[in-house]
Amino acid sequence: MQAATSAQQQIETDLTALSATEQASLVRQGKISSLELVEAHIARIEAVNPVLNAVVVKRYEEARAEAREADRRRLQGEALGPLHGVPVSVKECLDLAGTPSTFGLPSRASMRAEQDDAYVARLRAAGAIVLGKTNVAQLLMFVESDNPLYGRSNNPWDLQRTPGGSSGGEAAIIAAGGAALGLGTDIGGSVRAPAAFCGIASMKPTAGRLPDAGRHSMPFGQRAIVSQVGVLARHVADVALGLEVANGGREPAAEPPMPLHDWTAVDVSRLRVACYLDDGLFPVAPAVRRAVQEAATILSDAGARVTPWQPPAVPHAYQLSLGLFSADCGAGFRETLGGNKRDPRIAMLVALAARSRFTLGALGGLLRLFGQHGLAGGLQAFGHGDTAHYWKLVEAQIDYQERFRAALDQDEGGPFDLILCPAMSLPAWKHGAARDLTLGGAYSILYNLLGYPAGVVPVTRVRANEESDRPASADLVQRAARKTEEGSAGLPVGVQVVARPWREHVALAAMQEIERVARQQPDFPFTPRVPC
């Protein structure tokens, strides 16, 4: 009996290790059934979810019924979509008919969506079968997936660390083999930070391609930096397929049409790549530096011209982002939260946003007096709360976008097609570190401010001899960073690949080349061994 059980577990593991494109191909050929795939992924979720707490809304019976119908359609010779019979998951904030979309707000737990979000509907129309919805940060506003309703999600590589946020539950279950691919959202790194922390791939598209309303997160009227729906998967080719499906096809019929070019037709050898290791705001961990350097070598070996480069005025861009997000002094957050229990990190953010310029200036001066420059720097953008200042911030954002574009066009080695840089400054953070490490996410938020498409691809894992070279410091931010680096050996590390607007296909081609070579290396982060 034990041998039979072990054999069954091996079959399930083999199925869940397949890429989404492989799964879809096998279903189309009749070599496996959709029901087999669904059952294997349900078994995997049930095995790992007790320790990950990644899937917070399950729809197993509905998924089984949909799988049977998918198998019937194949047997009847009906037209099949590109994801026919493939088990997927979606971020909890995206509407799925009959399930709640709470954003981590207990008051919304009893509400049920009447119809699917547009991008979820496209995924299902392509044949995908949604197994469940995954955990988020409250209001989707910090780099952990933890909230008073569903609790805390854990990283499959180290349960004492976060899978990231706000799409952390999504990344965790995909990394652990519970879903082939999934949808998340990204307004400040929310599909890229979790991908980097969990050792998978993801893509945030150009601002405006897949806009996400997110009406229970950042106030919808804040249109300077807009949330986008993004795709997460273990393989770059699956990210590309998911993006095409969510886009409505390469040449979508929807208005306005947002065509996607063929990423497989891009000649990587002809690309010009700008590469940087440090944004001038927050130093990265040694393994992150190495990952970017290795990715640069891979692209250079493929014939691309890779040039060291420095993005202009990143500290200024970071302050612009914070200013735009907090322009209403947190009024929108307070209204959305209402009487709900608040996650401590959200409570701190809302409290700071409501303080006057005078109070924040005094607090910043006090922090600097005690050597807390990292925390003090995060206060500069808060406390304005007037429309005139918001207009000035938007104008400054436009000016910065022009300055950045000019640098890509005119700096030595350009004009550049791509940017290669860290995805996050550190490997997966320890639980609770988001309180002090907001600066550590600046590498991703920059490209939300700019609106550029940006993807993450895994490259390596932290080696035992390279956990940290960060000097001891009294600064709480730097101390939190050093603490995060300690004990990080074995954790996955990804890099960020950024393209110019509407050129997702160029980034995907480079990501595919990086993945192809990196997968041959012994340090590549394959599926983690989650303690069940």
- Sorted by sequence, the CB contacts under 8 Å of residue 52 that are 6+ apart come out as 153, 154, 156, 159, 163, 169, 172, 173, 176, 530
Q: Which residue has the tokens 């995909």?
A: 174
Helix ranges, 59-139 (H): 60-75, 118-125
Q: Which residue has the tokens 């039979």?
A: 4
Helix ranges, 138-182 (H): 168-175
324 within 8 A of 400, measured Cβ to Cβ: no
SS3 category, 427: coil
Q: Which residue has the tokens 């590589």?
A: 157
Q: What is the 3-state secondary structure (H, E, C) of 403-465?
A: HHHHHHHHCCCCCCCEEEEECCCCCCCECCHHHCCHHHHHHHHHHHHHCCCEEEEEEEECCHH
Q: What is the DSSP letter of 192?
A: H
> Which of residues 355 and 455 earns the better pLDDT score?
455
pLDDT tens across 13-23, in order? Answer: 689 999 999 99
The pLDDT assigned to 465 comes to 94
**Which two tokens mark 270?**
């002809």
Environment class of residue 455 by beta-carbon count within 10 Å: exposed (0-12), middle (13-18) or buried (19+)?
buried
> What is the rounded distance in angstroms from the CA atom of residue 507 to the CA atom of residue 460?
19
Q: How far is CA 471 from the centre of its chain?
A: 29
**Which two tokens mark 376?**
């003090």
Going by C-alpha positions, the residue among 468, 395, 363, 372 that lies closest to residue 426 is 468
45 within 8 A of 55, measured Cβ to Cβ: yes
β-strand partners of 185 = 229
> What is the rounded distance in angstroms from the CA atom of residue 276 to the CA atom of residue 288?
11
Q: What is the dihedral of CA 208, 213, 216, 221, to 10 degrees?
A: 70
Amino acid at position 519, single letter: R
133 within 8 A of 90, measured Cβ to Cβ: yes
**Which two tokens mark 273?**
């790549």
490 within 8 A of 524, measured Cβ to Cβ: no
Q: Which residue has the tokens 């999934």?
A: 182
Going by C-alpha positions, the residue among 203, 307, 210 that lies closest to residue 515 is 203
pLDDT confidence of 4, banded at 50, 70, 90?
very low
pLDDT confidence of 441, banded at 50, 70, 90?
confident
- Three-point CA angle 224, 432, 359, nearest 5°: 60
Query: Could you list the active site residues?
Result: 91, 166, 190
The pLDDT assigned to 370 comes to 57
**What mean pLDDT, rounded, does the chain reach?**
93
Helix ranges, 232-356 (H): 236-246, 286-301, 314-325, 331-337, 344-353
pLDDT confidence of 440, banded at 50, 70, 90?
confident
Q: What is the DSSP letter of 164?
A: -
Say if residue 466's pLDDT is above 70. yes
pLDDT confidence of 10, banded at 50, 70, 90?
low
Domain locations along the chain = 2-319+388-518, 329-386
Amino acid at position 154, single letter: N
pLDDT tens across 339-397, in order? Answer: 999 999 999 888 877 777 767 676 667 657 656 666 667 667 776 888 999 999 999 99
Cis previous bond, 312, omega within 30: no
The pLDDT assigned to 388 comes to 94
> Which of residues 4 and 191 earns the better pLDDT score?
191
15 within 8 A of 36, measured Cβ to Cβ: yes
Say if residue 12's pLDDT is above 60. no
The pLDDT assigned to 510 comes to 99
pLDDT tens across 71-125, in order? Answer: 999 999 999 999 999 999 999 999 999 999 999 999 999 999 999 999 999 999 9
83 within 8 A of 241, measured Cβ to Cβ: yes
pTM over 0.75: yes
**Which two tokens mark 98?**
């009959």
Report whether CATH 3.30.1490.20 matches the domain 2-319+388-518.
no
SS3 category, 248: coil
Across 340-349, 457-466, 523-532, which has the greatest mean pLDDT?
457-466
β-strand partners of 274 = 307, 419
Q: Out of 193-202, 235-244, 305-314, 351-360, which region has the weakest mean confidence (pLDDT)?
A: 351-360
The pLDDT assigned to 18 comes to 97
Q: Which residue has the tokens 């946020």?
A: 165
Buried b (16+ CB within 10 A) or exposed e, 266-281: bebeebebbbbbbbeb
